[in-house]
Chains A and B, each alone.
Chain A
Amino acid sequence: MSEPVGTSAPARIARDVVTVVAGVALLLVIAFPFLWVIIISFRPDSEIFTRTFQLITTFTTENYTQLLSDSPFPTYLRNSFFVCTIATLVAVVIALITAYGFSRYRRFRLRPILLVLVICTQLFPFVILITPLYAMFFSVGLINNSLSLVLSYIAINLPFAIYLLLGYLDTIPIDLDEAARIDGASTLEIIFKVILPVAWPGVVTVAVYAFVSAWDEFLFALTLMTSEENKTVPVGLASFFGEYTTQWNLVMTASVISTLPTLLLFMLLQKKLVSDLTAGSVKQ
């Protein structure tokens, strides 16, 4: 239907094939670095430096067993899962309550200014705050305490989470709340028993986004968690490829494991996530 008038069928099919082949080839080139990491992670240490271009060499999972049994990586994983899960849960709950306040009460006096502040903090370069935040956490004795990282990740994720959930809640009819209120439900009951089930897809998007950005975060983890047993995955992984010694097979294996959580989350929810996360920029 959308084809130029007068193009013959074979020419059209030829053009389609060329487009698809070119597109997929380009995408494979783009995906290659990570696919290469996966391949290397299953290669024995002895063959990493030889036979670079052989796609399949000896297949082994010894890198994985070594990494998970004979390196501090499991500790890093545990720390990251702990910090990111708690930060995500708290951020989502607070963001939902806040978004509900902004969505259902349109006329309270400070609403416009608070809303603008939330949107502005989204653009705020958090990196700049690392020096004062370190000083603040130091003075309350929270350096090397997971709480400092949890709190930082909650704060980093709140603005975007509130903004995205606000857009979601605005599409949910207020009749739902009013029906529940007549039945005597309190506001918190309405939020978690009436709104949450309906806003579930938006909440999932926000949770995934918050978890992934906490999972990826490097600078705060580097600065606030200085002792070995408190390191998170990104900082721990970075210490594997230090300036002097690098065990590439372990780096590649740790890279695959570090990417698994985000990869799984995105693959499960790709279509929805992509449309939710780009909506903000496209809507303008």
Chain B
Amino acid sequence: MTATSDRMPTTKAASRDTVARYWSASRLEPYALVMPAMVILAVFFAGPALYNIALSFQELSLFELGREGKWIGFDNFAEVLTDPATGHALFNTTLPLTIVTVVARLALGLGLALLLNASVFRRWKLGWLVRSLILIPWVTPPVVAVAAWKWLLDARYGVVNQLLVGMGLLEQGIPFLARTSTVWGAIETMLVWRELPFVVITFLAALQSIPSDLKEAARVDGATNFQIHTRIVLPLLRPVTAVIAMLTTIWTFNNFVYVWLATRGGPGDYTQVLATQMYVTSFVDYRMGAGAAIGVVMSMIMFVFALVYFFVVFRDKEGAR
């Protein structure tokens, strides 16, 4: 900046000097403005991501941190990928943790949004009540959600078991989180409960952005309520459904907190998922290299998901034209 203006002959018109200075300053200014954020993102995303890859090729214990580990090539990956525990965790992460809860959230979320979008809630000015109640799980921190559900599902004193026993459906309460037949259902309930509001309010926002003329026109043409929903509303919700599905998939696939707090991956290793497996490997077994390798495997799977995400969004945009 100074270099440019210094070279300017001082005898020339001062206005040109100002313009030149302003021009070069404004060329650098955007970089100066975005620099702090970019440095932070580089240090906390790019840096660790690259270091994670380096770590995954080393044997390094938590106690040896600060030193360079022993470079062992693909040994960590060979071990992680041939370990049956990884396959088990991958299966758990994909099906019971992610697919089941994403599908449940989409179905329940859409159903609830369609119900709450009924014009009567607006006509009777109940919007505030609907929003307040639906937001309650969402404002509950995940840790609190797990605490609340652990208590509700308690084998002896929990409301759920007391209800079931009281109605004569059970002889005695079920320890939901300690049995393999019920543990996933219990974790999925906690997760869906806490994360459902996001899906409901996003669907609600999308429903409210559909122009009412469209529905009116169809009604005038003699369409039934059911036809209006299947032929007009649902097709218009396709893009937002795709976005919700992909976002919730990515968030859930990497989720650590629900499984960890509900079961620590138990009973035994029955509910271990990739995120908890990674944590245990790095911070309980102190094997940072192997933990990093699980992280690399997870990022590669997520990378494919992200590609699908952009593909879906892109295709929908093309289709809309």
Chain A residues within 8 Å of B, Cβ to Cβ: 2, 4-5, 16, 19-20, 22-24, 26-28, 30-31, 33-37, 40, 48-49, 52-53, 94-95, 97-98, 100-102, 104-105, 108, 110-111, 114, 117-118, 120-121, 123-136, 138-139, 151-152, 154-155, 158-159, 162, 187, 212, 215-216, 218-219, 223, 233-234, 237-238, 240-241, 243, 248, 251-252, 255, 258-259, 262-263, 265-267, 270-271, 274-275, 278-279, 281-282, 284
Minimum distance in angstroms from B25 CB to a CB of chain A: 9
A278 and B283 CA atoms in complex are apart in Å by 36
Which of B205, B256, B306 has most A Cβ within 10 Å?
B205
| Of B11-19, B80-88, B129-137, B180-188, the one touching chain A | B129-137
- Number of A-B pairs, beta carbon distance below 8 Å: 296
Any A CB within 8 A of the CB of B219: yes
Which residue on chain B has the smallest CB distance to residue A108? B30
Q: Which residue of A26, A135, A218, A251 is within 8 Å of B147 (Cβ)?
A: A251
Question: B133 and A133: CB pair below 8 A?
Answer: no
A-B contact pairs, 14 of them (CB 8 A): A16-B124, A19-B121, A22-B115, A23-B116, A23-B118, A101-B34, A128-B296, A132-B295, A133-B44, A152-B44, A218-B142, A234-B143, A241-B150, A282-B202
Contacts A4-B225, A26-B112, A34-B136 known; A255 to B206 CB distance under 8 Å? no
DSSP class of A's interface residues: helix, strand, loop or mixed?
helix
A184 and B44 CA atoms in complex are apart in Å by 37
A55 and B240 CA atoms in complex are apart in Å by 41
A49 and B215 CA atoms in complex are apart in Å by 53
Which of B52, B123, B317 has most A Cβ within 10 Å?
B52
Which of A151, A237, A265 has most B Cβ within 10 Å?
A237
For chain B residues 239-268, which have a beta carbon within 8 Å of chain A?
A: 239-240, 243-244, 247, 250, 253-257, 260-261, 264
Which of A20, A114, A263 has most B Cβ within 10 Å?
A20
Contacts of A98 in B (CB 8 A): 33-34, 36-38
Interface size class of chain B, counting residues whose CB lies under 8 Å from the partner chain: 35 or more
Any A CB within 8 A of the CB of B232: no
Minimum distance in angstroms from A38 CB to a CB of chain B: 10
Q: Scan B284-321; emit 1 where CB is below 8 A from any A CB, else 0.
A: 00001001100110110010001001000100110000
Which residue on chain B has the smallest CB distance to residue A284? B239
Minimum distance in angstroms from A247 CB to a CB of chain B: 11
Question: B151 and A252: CB pair below 8 A?
Answer: yes
Minimum distance in angstroms from A14 CB to a CB of chain B: 11
Question: A132 and B51: CB pair below 8 A?
Answer: yes
Question: B201 and A278: CB pair below 8 A?
Answer: yes
Any A CB within 8 A of the CB of B172: no
Q: Which residue of B126, B144, B225 is within 8 Å of A237 (Cβ)?
A: B144
For chain B residues 97-132, which have a beta carbon within 8 Å of chain A?
A: 112, 115-116, 118-121, 123-124, 126-132
- The 7 closest A-B CB pairs, nearest first, are A101-B33, A155-B44, A105-B30, A27-B133, A125-B254, A98-B37, A132-B48
Any A CB within 8 A of the CB of B23: no
Question: A138 and B66: CB pair below 8 A?
Answer: yes
Question: B143 and A158: CB pair below 8 A?
Answer: no
A24 and B309 CA atoms in complex are apart in Å by 35
Any A CB within 8 A of the CB of B275: yes
Contacts of B159 in A (CB 8 A): 36, 52-53
Which residue on chain B has the smallest CB distance to residue A154? B40
Which residue on chain A has the smallest CB distance to residue B316? A284
Any A CB within 8 A of the CB of B78: no
Which residue on chain A has the smallest CB distance to residue B131? A270
A118 and B44 CA atoms in complex are apart in Å by 13
Question: B298 and A128: CB pair below 8 A?
Answer: yes
Question: B65 and A129: CB pair below 8 A?
Answer: no
Which of B33, B157, B209, B212 has most A Cβ within 10 Å?
B33
Q: Scan B195-234; emit 1 where CB is below 8 A from any A CB, else 0.
A: 0100001100110010010011001000001000000000
Contacts A23-B130, A52-B159, A215-B141 known; A255 to B291 CB distance under 8 Å? no
A211 and B55 CA atoms in complex are apart in Å by 32
Which of A97, A223, A278 has most B Cβ within 10 Å?
A278
A214 and B247 CA atoms in complex are apart in Å by 19
Question: B139 and A123: CB pair below 8 A?
Answer: no
Contacts A34-B140, A155-B40, A259-B144 known; A128 to B151 CB distance under 8 Å? no
Question: A94 and B36: CB pair below 8 A?
Answer: yes
Q: Which residue of B49, B144, B162 is within 8 Å of A53 (Cβ)?
A: B162
Minimum distance in angstroms from B173 CB to a CB of chain A: 11
Contacts of A240 in B (CB 8 A): 147
A4 and B223 CA atoms in complex are apart in Å by 10
Question: B45 and A129: CB pair below 8 A?
Answer: yes
Minimum distance in angstroms from B249 CB to a CB of chain A: 11
